[in-house]
Amino acid sequence: MAAREGGKKALAIEGYANALKQLPMIVAENAGLDASELITELRSEIVNGNKSAGLDVNTGAIGCMRSLGVMECMKVK
């Protein structure tokens, strides 16, 4: 989306996107997991079209957030 915008708005979008990418890293590190490995796997899953992929901190692996009952609240949207 930032590529379609110009100027300061594009920088703001990129900065916000980069901040959101840090959240799974922080969660994995706080859970004592191998954050680098898990984030690499998670990005691969998402790029390959698995939109429900996420960190399952109980197993220390990538899991399906739908099957785990993790869903985004409609109020956020």
| Tokens found for residue 66 | 């739908």
Which secondary structure element, helix H or strand E, spans residue 1, and what is its range? Answer: none
| Total-model pTM | 0.73
| Tokens found for residue 45 | 């899953």
- The reported pLDDT for the residue numbered 70 is 86
Tell me, what CATH number does 10's domain have?
A: 1.10.560.10
How many CA atoms lie within 13 Å of 3's alpha carbon, on the beta-carbon side? Answer: 0
Residue pLDDT, tens place only, 5-19: 778 888 898 999 899
Please check whether residue 27 lies inside any domain of the structure.
yes
Q: Which domain holds residue 32?
A: 2-68
Please check whether residue 53 lies inside any domain of the structure.
yes
